[in-house]
Amino acid sequence: MTGDYKDILKNANPDPVLKLIARTAVGRELLERFLPLLKRGQVRIDAYPAAIVAKLREVIPAGQPIGACLVTEGAKGTIFLDYTSPIGVLAPFLVHEIAHALEPKVWAGQTAKSQTALLDAESEAFQTQFRFTQELRERDPAYDEFLKTNYPKAKLLHSLLEFDDIEELYGRRSA
């Protein structure tokens, strides 16, 4: 896959992203648990609506990618991706959202009701994302170079966020 990290997917097909994720042990372990949810239709992976992408681009600083988002409604969920981002950026964000999709407290609504539960879930997902990114960087130095060259200011793609960083990212509310 070396050199393909910059590829932009022409259609909203997550398969190439899932294949990239599967190149790591972290990713394979996640996919083993996640793919049954995807196949059953409990979780879908869709493109963000264009209007949402446009609004996000207005507020996200230059050099920062648009992430991904898991939205749950009852027993169903949708992971939204920005398919205008390169595959090498989509993969860590999808890993993060897959971690959420596998988290029972997300489905129980606890993360919507409790700031503590939200921050705990985010911390766990960022740790998984970081482990995936580190493993891929170690396996393929071209991926490390891709991130450093194209997203040097995107801290969440380069380092493990500390709890204070996550709290700042998600705002401080009373639990």
> 114-122: long-range contacts at Cβ-Cβ below 8 A with a sequence spacing of 24 or more?
114/175, 115/172, 115/173, 115/174, 115/175, 116/175, 118/170, 119/163, 119/166, 119/167, 119/170, 122/166, 122/169, 122/170
DSSP state of 121: H
Query: How is residue 105 written in tokens?
Result: 């407290």
Flag whether 175 is in a domain.
no
Flag whether 130 is in a domain.
yes
Flag whether 104 is in a domain.
yes
pTM of this structure: 0.89
Cβ partners under 8 Å of residue 85, min gap 6: 8, 65, 66, 93
Flag whether 156 is in a domain.
yes
Flag whether 49 is in a domain.
yes
Q: How many domains does the chain have?
A: 1
Which tens digits make up the pLDDT trace of 145-169? 999 998 888 877 777 667 676 667 6
DSSP state of 81: E
* Nearest-angstrom CA–CA distance, 137 and 91: 12
> Which structural domain range is residue 147 located in?
15-170
Flag whether 7 is in a domain.
no
Which tens digits make up the pLDDT trace of 103-137? 998 888 888 888 788 888 888 999 999 999 999 99
